[in-house]
């Protein structure tokens, strides 16, 4: 049996789709814990309307997504916990996919499936992974951080399951981290034990309908201080096995922050992040491109960044 945790905050427009995707699972032995994190829309009422004894609605004052997920795991009655965000959804075989992974690799600290990224125009793009069409479909990832660098993010919150004991031993999602709390936890679990992965895509990550004109409305300013970098640095220093790949993972995180600061026109912060990345991983072509964009007019920069995101299948 698997517990499912959905953090809910002002997602009345999408929560039914998420819950319905759990109800449609071919594996029916599950419980669903929805943690309402102080919503002020009708989302909690929509959840309460479901008359299924497997669904629990937990109320808490607004404390952030990390606190909501941690609360859900604490309430969960099962050893295995899968996460689903309120604006994402699953194929009907997702829990079955995860259960096969768990059965084959019971010792793993982190489980995840391939996923589809659904754009604002409803187009679907499957995330990349090595030999995606070659069996076996269920594998252990030897170096999670190298694979993230080569293929992009393999895991996102709605594609992951964890053993509750592993989750609690790590301390769960870090409170106070506004962006990248999942990056920290996946990295901690990848350093602590084995990472199991299914090449079969059964989860769907929904991107908001973002245009160049409204991009600024969706941007989240990188947090200062940089909690993600601090935690990855600790892991790099304490995990010799992954020291090289964690250094590169950290460099790429700084590059992500550099691009975000670039979009916000915070040039000094962008340059600072690029410098940190270059010290860890030498200067790359993408760093030079970022520097060139720093010198370009804001309108030209916005169009160039939009084109880069489309090429990468991102917002």
Question: Looking at residue 238, what is its pLDDT?
Answer: 97
Which pTM was predicted? 0.91
Asked if pLDDT for residue 286 goes beyond 90, the answer is: no
CB 178 within 8 A of CB 127: no
Question: Looking at residue 312, what is its pLDDT?
Answer: 56
CB 12 within 8 A of CB 70: no
pLDDT band with cut points at 50, 70 and 90 for residue 148: very high
Backbone angles phi, psi at 55, to 5 degrees: -100, 125
For residue 288, what are its two tokens?
A: 């030079």
CB 104 within 8 A of CB 191: no
Q: pLDDT of 192-236, one tens digit each?
A: 999 999 999 999 999 876 554 555 556 789 999 999 999 999 999
pLDDT band with cut points at 50, 70 and 90 for residue 315: very low
Strand duo 30-37 + 55-60: pairing: parallel
pLDDT band with cut points at 50, 70 and 90 for residue 296: confident
Question: Looking at residue 128, what is its pLDDT?
Answer: 86
Asked if pLDDT for residue 176 goes beyond 70, the answer is: yes
Asked if pLDDT for residue 147 goes beyond 90, the answer is: yes
Among 116-130, 175-189, 239-253, 289-303, where is mean pLDDT lowest? 289-303
With tokens 């609690």, the residue in question is 168
Question: Looking at residue 119, what is its pLDDT?
Answer: 82
- Per-residue pLDDT, averaged over 50-64, amounts to 97
Task: Please tell me the distance from the alpha carbon of residue 236 to that of residue 232, in angstroms, as a whole number.
Answer: 6
Question: Looking at residue 209, what is its pLDDT?
Answer: 66
| Percent of the chain topping pLDDT 70 | 92
Helices (H), the chain: 15-23, 43-48, 65-75, 94-104, 144-151, 164-170, 181-192, 215-218, 227-238, 243-263, 267-281, 285-294, 298-312
Report the chain's mean pLDDT, rounded to a whole number. 91
Residue 255, CB half-sphere, CA atoms under 13 Å: how many?
22
| Direct distance between the N- and C-terminal alpha carbons of the chain, in angstroms, rounded to an integer | 35
Q: pLDDT of 120-131, one tens digit each?
A: 777 888 988 888
Q: pLDDT of 224-266, one tens digit each?
A: 999 999 999 999 999 999 999 999 999 999 999 998 898 888 9
């Amino acid at each position: 049996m698997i517990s499912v945790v959905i953090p809910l905050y002002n997602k009345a427009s999408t929560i039914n789709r998420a819950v319905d995707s759990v109800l449609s699972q071919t594996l029916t032995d599950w419980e669903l814990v929805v943690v309402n994190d102080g919503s002020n829309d009708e989302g909690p009422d929509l959840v309460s309307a479901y008359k299924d004894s497997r669904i629990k609605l937990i109320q808490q004052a607004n404390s952030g997504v990390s606190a909501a997920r941690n609360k859900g795991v604490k309430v969960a009655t099962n050893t295995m916990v899968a996460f689903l965000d309120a604006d994402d959804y699953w194929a009907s075989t997702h829990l079955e996919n995860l259960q096969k992974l768990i059965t084959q690799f019971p010792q793993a600290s982190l489980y995840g499936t391939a996923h589809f990224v659904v754009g604002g125009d409803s187009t679907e793009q499957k995330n990349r992974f090595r030999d995606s069409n070659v069996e076996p479909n269920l594998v252990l990832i030897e170096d999670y951080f190298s694979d993230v660098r080569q293929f992009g993010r393999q895991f996102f919150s709605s594609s992951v399951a964890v053993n509750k004991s592993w989750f609690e031993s790590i301390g769960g999602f870090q409170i106070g981290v506004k962006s990248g709390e999942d990056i920290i936890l996946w990295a901690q679990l990848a350093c602590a034990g084995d990472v199991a992965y299914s090449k079969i895509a059964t989860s769907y990550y929904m991107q908001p309908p973002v245009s160049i004109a409204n991009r600024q409305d969706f941007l989240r300013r990188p947090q200062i201080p940089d909690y993600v970098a601090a935690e990855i640095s600790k892991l790099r220093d304490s995990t010799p096995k992954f020291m090289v790949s964690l250094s590169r993972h950290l460099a790429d995180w700084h590059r992500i922050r550099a691009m975000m600061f670039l979009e916000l026109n915070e040039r000094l912060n962008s340059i600072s992040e690029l410098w940190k990345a270059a010290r860890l991983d030498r200067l790359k072509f993408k760093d030079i491109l970022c520097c060139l964009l720093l010198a370009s007019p804001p309108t030209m920069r916005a169009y160039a960044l939009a084109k880069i995101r489309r090429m990468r299948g991102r917002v």
